[in-house]
Amino acid sequence: MTLWWAIAAVCLGCYALKLAGLAAPRQVLDHPAVRRFAELVPVALLSALIAVQTFTADGALAFDLARTAGLVAAVVALVLRAPFLVVLIAAAATTGVVRLFLG
């Protein structure tokens, strides 16, 4: 039940955030600091998510060879300019195969 509350909060909050931008007074965006913050925040948060989801487990730093190999495969696919879906499939397939053979 508690998880449902978190989901409800995220659904309502995300919608409110989207609407706030469309409905806000225009001059807010003209502030250079706001523009800059908008550009930078997702980069920091998404990088943090990549690091945490790849290199931690149960609240501690953890090296998982299969997951790391999958992320490396994603990097290779991105360097080769592969389409979005190909990047995801390459990552999942690599992690799956490495885990199958190395446990």
According to CB under 8 A, which residues from 6 to 65 bind another protein?
6-7, 9-11, 13-15, 17-24, 26, 28-29, 33-38, 40-61
Does 102 bind another protein (CB under 8 A)? Our answer is no
**What separation, in Å, do the N-terminal and C-terminal C-alpha atoms of the chain show?**
35
1 binds another protein (CB under 8 A): no
Establish how many alpha carbons lie within 13 A of residue 57's alpha carbon, considering only the half-sphere containing its beta carbon.
7
Report in angstroms how near the CB of residue 5 gets to another protein at its nearest. 8
Binding to another protein, residues 72-91 (CB under 8 A): 74-75, 78, 83-85, 87-88, 91
DSSP code string of 22-45: HHS-THHHHSHHHHHHHHHHHHHH
